[in-house]
Every structure is written in C-alpha cells, then in structure tokens.
Amino acid sequence: MRRLRIGLTLRIVAVLVVLGVAAFPLYWMLVTALSSNADLFAERPRLLPDFSQLGVFVEGLGDGKVAGWLLNSLLIAAGTTVLSIGLGIPLGYALSRFSFRGKALLTLVLLFTQMLPEALMVVPLFSLFRRFNLLDSLGGLILANVAFVLPIVALILKGAIDGIPRELEEAARVDGARPLAVLTRVNVPLIAPSIAATAVISFFHAWNEYVFAVTFIFTPEKQPASVGIANFIGELGTPIQTVMAVAFMFTLPAVAFYLFAQKYVVAGMTAGAVKG
C-alpha cells in the first residue's frame, strides 16, 4: 500500500508539473497584460497579476476592433473545420473502400501537398482568387485554409476507416442500409475520435493562420485576430500590455475548443469498452 501511495503521489506531481509548464505561457501573458509600465521594466519581474490594471482589457475591447477580429477568427476557424471534415469524410472513405485508377497516385499527391509551405502557394492562390472575386472575403480565406488542411484530414480519416472491419458494412447492407446510411450510421460513429482529432487540427490551423489572412484580406474590419494583433506593433512604440491582453483573449477560445474536443476524443476511444 505504501508503494502504491508513493507511485500515485509521483504521478500526481508529474501531472501537475506538466500542466504548470503548459499553462505558464498563458499565465505570463495575463501577468504582463496586468502590469504597469514600472513593473514591466523593473529589475525584478512581477510574478503575480495586478488586477487593478484590468482596464487594459476594457481598452482593448473598447473600440470594437478586437471583438470584430475575434469574431472573424471564429467564423474562419469554424467554417474551415466544418468544410474540411465534411469533405474529408467522403474523401477518406473513397480512398479506403473503393478501388479506382490513380488511387495510389492521388494518395501520394495528398501526402506531398503537406510538404509545401504556405508561402509557396500564396502567389498561385492569389491569382486564382482574383479571377473568381474571392479576395478580401472570409469565404475565400476559408477555402484557402480548407485547401491546405483537407489532405491531412482525408488521410487521417482514411487510416481510421481502414481499421473498421468490412463485415460491419456488409451487415448493414444486408439489413437494407444504403451507402450513405452505411457511411453516416456505421463508419462515422466508429471514427469519432479521429474526426475530433481532425477538427482540432483544422480549427487550430485556421485560428492561427497568418500568411493567407494577411495576403488575401485587405479591409481592416475583415481581418482575423492573428493579423490584427500584428497591427499593434508600431514603428515608434508597441503597447505591450494591450498586445498581451488581446493575445490572452485570442488564446482562450482555442484552449476552450481543445478542451471541448478532447472530451469527445476520450469518449470515442472508450466507446464500446464494456462487457458484452
């Protein structure tokens, strides 16, 4: 019993250390945002937030620009996540279950697209979007993000579907299920953890994306927060407290979405783990 208690205590300490290391950047942004100029440039850094400086958050949201940037980021990230998963599920299913000419080549092409940096795709995408009047629009930016993240989503879901026994699909067809019903009622519930993982990948890519956003969006009111935060950096000075306050608000929705999706990842991994 003593060894078990010692082992449990060590595991708890290890988990707390890992959580502290992971949460420290977020905490330090809060401390910096709630520091006065004297504390910010003092010889010894301030380790605790000064909540009397909460006005910096009010100032950051005062003119409505930051709230608009955060809303734009949310719309872009949500649209990218929904569209990439909506297209990735049937694409991954087709790559996993159907045989057609050029299947191996298509898989390699999807894999090779992940080796291309975003900066290499900016010029051709800019020319293409200008032709179809997609520049300076959130919809065009969503399409650009989907084009970049869809291959990895499809490949992850293909691997998940490969692990599903075909006998389950055959049993559903014997019961009269159509192909679409087989996909949505048999495969999708079984690959729920992989769908949640790809949702996290898609959301974080679109939420943090900067290169496409700064290139394709011209109107300041349509910019996401990743671009808006960079606009605080001035030629003569940078309001560090304001930047950290906005960055803190920019980070919280991403952390909340990760915690929300993590619940479904765990639930999907433990589904069916009961005695028959």
Q: Tell me the pLDDT tens digit for each residue of 136-172.
A: 999 999 999 999 999 999 999 998 898 888 888 888 8
Q: Which two tokens stand for residue 232?
A: 């605080």
The three-state secondary structure class of 260 is helix
Cβ proximity of 206 and 224 under 8 Å: no
- 4: three-class secondary structure by DSSP: helix
Q: Give span(s): CATH 1.10.3720.10, the chain.
A: 56-270
The answer to whether residues 269 and 69 touch, using CB atoms and an 8 Å cutoff, is: no
Distance CA 57, CA 243 (A): 10
8 Å CB contact between 206 and 124: no
pLDDT grade for 2, boundaries at 50, 70 and 90: confident
- What percentage of the chain has pLDDT greater than the value 70? 93
Place of tokens 């051709």: 124
Mean per-residue pLDDT, 14-30: 89
Cα-based angle 91, 205, 120 (whole degrees, multiple of 5): 85
Confidence of residue 116 (pLDDT cuts 50, 70, 90): confident
**CATH number for the domain running over 56-270:** 1.10.3720.10
Q: What pLDDT is attached to residue 143?
A: 94
Selection from 87, 88, 79 nearest residue 137 by Cα: 79
Predicted local confidence at residue 266, as pLDDT:
66
Q: Are 76 and 142 in contact (CB under 8 A)?
A: yes
The answer to whether residue 270 scores a pLDDT higher than 60 is no
